[in-house]
Amino acid sequence: PLDRGFLGGNFNKNTTFHKTLDFRSTMPRFSKEALETNQSVVEFIKKVAQSKSINGKPASVAQVALAWILSNKSFVIPIPETTKIHRLEENLNASLLHFSLNELKEINKELSKIVIIGDRYAPNSDAAKSVGL
């Protein structure tokens, strides 16, 4: 749900991934060009996050992304991966963030204008085949 860390808001066009130890290095969506172009998504989510807070603290990009998923369909449960306790707590607190119907409408309207570049997986890779691509 956080696009392999991209929606944590800490990647940019200069971010690199280890060629053999980080799966993202093989993913088209994590190429330099894609990271640069797709920053518009993160920048938009940052704007939304500036107007939201959780327990008196500003909402993070990741929290807004997770809260948006939770707000769209009651039967969809995001399962973000993490290896850090503070990220687990951050992710869990996203459930405390709520959007009004008007906010959701505006968020969805703006997101629909953004074109994402880069496939999720390299074409014909085992990963792509595993999800039917």
* Nearest alpha carbon to residue 89 among 127, 128, 62: 62
Give CA–CA dist 116/98, Å, rounded.
25
Q: Catalogue all structural domains in the chain, each as residue range(s) with its CATH number.
A: 3-118 (3.20.20.100)
Contact predicate 122/23, CB 8 Å: no
Report helix angle 61-72 to 85-93, nearest 10.
Answer: 40
Query: Which residues neighbour 8 within 8 Å (Cβ) at sequence distance 6 or greater?
Result: 2, 60, 61, 62
Residue by residue, pLDDT tens for the chain (133 residues) are 899 999 998 999 999 999 999 989 999 999 999 999 999 999 999 999 999 999 999 999 999 999 999 998 888 888 888 999 999 999 999 999 999 999 999 999 999 999 999 988 888 888 888 888 7
Contact predicate 35/15, CB 8 Å: yes
